[in-house]
Amino acid sequence: MKPLYAARLYDLGPNDRIKVQCRLCKRGNSMPADFIIRLGIASGTKVLDLVRLFRCQGCKWRGRASVSIEWSEVQ
């Protein structure tokens, strides 16, 4: 388990999830790291760099996301 500022997509296990929530309208979602990699984002991308890539489907703002990691109990 790494701190959020240093975590990259390849550091996450198969049961770990990335939680993204809009800071403006509070709409959110969580997804596994392999789903994000399948979207074409490099596995070496820092988790905090995902903030600028996501657009809220509710209010349509980009760059206002709050990103966190939901670490699984079993590794």
- What one-character-per-residue DSSP string does 2-66 give? --TTT-BGGGS-TT-EEEEEETTT--EEEEEHHHHHHTT--TT-BGGGGGGT-B-TTT--BS-EE
Summarised one tens digit per residue, pLDDT across range 56-75 is 888 888 888 899 999 887 65
pLDDT at 14: 86
Domain count, the chain: 1
Whether residue 30 lies inside any domain: the answer is: yes
The model's pTM is 0.80
pLDDT band at 2; cut points 50, 70, 90? confident
Whether residue 22 lies inside any domain: the answer is: yes
Summarised one tens digit per residue, pLDDT across range 5-53 is 999 999 998 889 999 999 889 999 999 988 988 989 999 999 999 888 8
Whether residue 58 lies inside any domain: the answer is: yes
Whether residue 65 lies inside any domain: the answer is: yes
45 CB contacts (<8 Å, ≥6 apart)? 8, 9
Whether residue 54 lies inside any domain: the answer is: yes
